[in-house]
């Protein structure tokens, strides 16, 4: 009898455990999943009256950059109908070079003479006017005035591109941090949310604009100019209408600077720097430790804050010949990177002009946009994976990143060399058999590896070189 009750108790306990597990699966686990999804959405999505119009401007810039500016070489060779590849490449590279130089000029003007809002408003007005000129030229003007109008429009578009690189992201960050300064917190999850949201504010609209460039096919360049003009015009109007919501200080306000400084202090708890590594660095090189942030060029750190040694990131001031040797070496790497990038924006697009695109994505313009997106996506992906796998505390992470990027540049040139050799053989064969042939039996898919490697080079080398040189120059002038 006692054994019977004991067996009955065991069965009862097993039933209760089974019911508990079923209840847990139905209640606890779904709640955890919902809570995780809610936290993820909260970390990656943020909307406000000030940031939304600016993100709309980023979206339109992304579309124009991917659908038009990045493939200007294709536009020149198709519409100017010139067999002089060197002339088209010269125009493309000069335009990109002038735009890059103007980034420095406009950033300086924005820091010293006018607010970032005025700089963005004026450069985007030039951007819109340049696109409007291209649209009018392609629809109404004759071929005789084509080159003159293009040169004028190219200057205006270059000003718009430079204005975006010089001030737009900084202005977006200003709005975000100015909205967060009233809610300081020491919670690690909150600090990670701040950093993640700041990056997502730019990346989300830029990614959506690139997708629109691929999935919104345009039958002609005139249609591309029209869509680009309308998108930039609408987003520019919305940006101006949001004037009353913006934080418009030319320099970062004291309260906003304190908010960023407080955020940086707390972030050091989330990403601590190893003490042993700091001591080794100081023994090997020697120097003072200081903070380097996005606002170092326009605002100096308060004296009382300079004594704090536990901030992240920590950068050492380097003195003597070693500093200049490092900078010269990095400038040489920049030169090599620039040569490969210039080749990617000219020769790579010239290669696809004679390839068979009818059996692939579509026209040469569609293929060019698709390959540009492939390059951009591979750049973002390798940068994301590198930051995820390589510890931020590792002091050689930047140098390894640059080295891997330069290795990808060599592989990119090798891939392009092999494709070009095969293409030239097919061109010679087609000319011998059929005389002058516009296309050759070679798919545009052959170009995918070199564009992927080009994106890997940008994601590794460009970000690493920019980070290294920017920190060194800011330390010198600071």
Residue 474, SS3 per DSSP: helix
Task: List domains and CATH numbers for the chain.
Answer: 48-206+220-271 (1.20.1250.20), 272-316 (no CATH), 318-478 (no CATH)
Measure the N-to-C terminal CA separation of the chain; round to a whole number of Å: 89
pTM recorded for the entire structure: 0.74
Res 297: pLDDT: 37
**How far, rounded to the nearest angstrom, does the alpha carbon of residue 143 sit from its chain's CA centroid?**
36
Mean pLDDT (whole number) for 426-447: 69
Measure the CA–CA gap between 214 and 366, rounded to whole angstroms: 7
pLDDT band, residue 270 (cuts 50/70/90): very low
Mean per-residue pLDDT, 125-152 = 83
Question: Which of the two residues, 125 and 280, has the higher pLDDT score?
Answer: 125
Alpha-carbon distance values, 462 to 8, 36, 399, 401 (Å): 71, 34, 12, 9
Lowest-pLDDT choice from 107-111, 145-149, 271-275: 271-275
Can you tell me the mean pLDDT for 99-126? 90
Alpha helices in 45-168 (DSSP H): 51-67, 72-79, 85-112, 116-140, 146-163
Residue 4 confidence class, pLDDT cut points 50, 70, 90? very low
Instruction: Mark 94-128 as b/e (b = at least 16 C-beta within 10 Å).
Output: ebbeebeebbeebbeebbeeebbbebbbbbbbbbb
Q: What is the pLDDT of residues 175-231, one digit of tens each?
A: 887 777 655 555 666 677 777 888 888 889 999 999 999 888 788 888 999 999 999
Cα 176–Cα 180–Cα 184 angle in degrees, nearest 5: 150
Q: Are 160 and 127 in contact (CB under 8 A)?
A: yes
CB atoms within 10 A of CB 251: 14
Q: Are 224 and 218 in contact (CB under 8 A)?
A: yes
Residues 316-374 pLDDT 10s: 444 455 667 777 887 888 888 889 998 988 888 888 877 766 555 567 788 888 899 99
Task: Round the average pLDDT of the chain to a whole number and report it.
Answer: 75
Give the pLDDT confidence of 370-422 residue by residue, as tens digits.
899 999 999 999 988 888 887 666 667 778 888 899 999 999 999 999 988 88
């Amino acid at each position: 009898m006692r054994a019977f009750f004991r067996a009955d108790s065991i069965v009862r306990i097993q039933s209760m455990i089974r019911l508990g597990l079923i209840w847990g699966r139905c209640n606890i686990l779904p709640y955890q999943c919902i809570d995780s999804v809610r936290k993820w959405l909260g970390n990656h999505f943020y909307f406000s009256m000030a940031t939304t119009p600016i993100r709309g401007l980023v979206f339109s810039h992304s579309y124009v950059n991917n659908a038009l500016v990045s493939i200007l070489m294709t536009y020149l060779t198709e519409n100017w109908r010139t067999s002089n590849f060197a002339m088209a490449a010269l125009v493309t590279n000069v335009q990109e070079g002038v735009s890059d130089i103007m980034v420095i000029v406009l950033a300086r003007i924005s820091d010293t003479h006018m607010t970032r809002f005025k700089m963005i408003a004026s450069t985007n007005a030039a951007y819109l006017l340049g696109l409007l000129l291209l649209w009018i030229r392609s629809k109404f003007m004759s071929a005789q005035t084509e080159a003159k109008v293009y040169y004028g429009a190219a200057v205006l578009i270059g000003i718009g591109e430079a204005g975006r690189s010089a001030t737009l992201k900084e202005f977006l960050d200003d709005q975000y941090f100015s909205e967060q300064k009233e809610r300081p917190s020491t919670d690690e999850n909150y600090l990670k949310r701040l950093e993640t949201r700041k990056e997502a504010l730019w990346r989300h609209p830029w990614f959506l604009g690139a997708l629109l460039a691929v999935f919104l096919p345009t039958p002609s360049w005139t249609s591309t100019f029209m869509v680009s003009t309308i998108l930039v015009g609408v987003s520019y109007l919305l940006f101006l209408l949001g004037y009353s919501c913006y934080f418009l200080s030319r320099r970062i306000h004291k309260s906003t600077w304190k908010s960023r400084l407080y955020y940086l202090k707390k972030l050091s708890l989330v990403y601590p720097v190893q003490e042993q590594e700091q001591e080794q660095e100081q023994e090997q090189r020697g120097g003072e430790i200081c903070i380097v942030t996005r606002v170092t060029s326009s605002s100096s750190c308060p004296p009382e804050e300079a004594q704090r040694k536990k901030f992240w990131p920590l950068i050492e001031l380097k003195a003597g010949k070693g500093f200049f040797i490092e900078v010269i070496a990095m400038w040489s790497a920049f030169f090599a990177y620039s040569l490969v990038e210039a080749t990617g924006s000219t020769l790579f697009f010239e290669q696809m002009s004679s390839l068979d695109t009818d059996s692939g994505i579509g026209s040469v313009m569609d293929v060019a946009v698709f390959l540009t997106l492939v390059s951009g996506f591979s750049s973002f992906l390798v940068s994301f994976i590198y930051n995820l796998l390589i510890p931020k505390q590792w002091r050689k992470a930047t140098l390894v990143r640059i080295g891997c990027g330069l290795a990808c540049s060599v592989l990119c040139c090798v891939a392009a060399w092999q494709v070009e050799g095969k293409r030239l053989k097919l061109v010679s064969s087609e000319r011998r058999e059929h005389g002058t042939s516009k296309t050759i039996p070679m798919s545009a898919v052959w170009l995918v590896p070199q564009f992927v490697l080009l994106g890997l080079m940008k994601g590794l080398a460009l970000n690493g070189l920019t980070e290294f040189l920017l920190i060194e120059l800011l330390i010198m002038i600071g």
